[in-house]
Amino acid sequence: MQEISIDAQAKIAKISPSVSGNTLNKKLREEYDLFTPSAHGVNVGMGGFMMCGGHGWNSRQFGLGCENLLALDLVTAEGKLIHASETENSDYLWAARGSGPGFFGAATRYYVKLHERPPVTKIKWRTVSARSTGTRSDLVHRCAAPPFRAILKWFSS
Give the pTM.
0.74
Q: Are 37 and 110 in contact (CB under 8 A)?
A: no
List strand residue ranges (DSSP E) for 8-144, in order. Answer: 12-15, 34-35, 69-76, 81-84, 105-113, 115-116, 120-123, 128-130
Full pLDDT tens readout for the chain, 157 residues: 789 999 999 999 999 999 999 999 999 999 999 989 888 887 889 988 888 888 887 777 888 888 999 999 999 999 999 999 999 999 999 999 878 888 889 999 999 999 998 776 555 544 445 454 555 555 545 554 555 555 555 555 5
Half-sphere exposure of 90 (CA within 13 A, CB side): 2
Give all domains of the chain, ordered by start, each with its CATH number.
4-116 (3.30.465.10), 121-156 (no CATH)
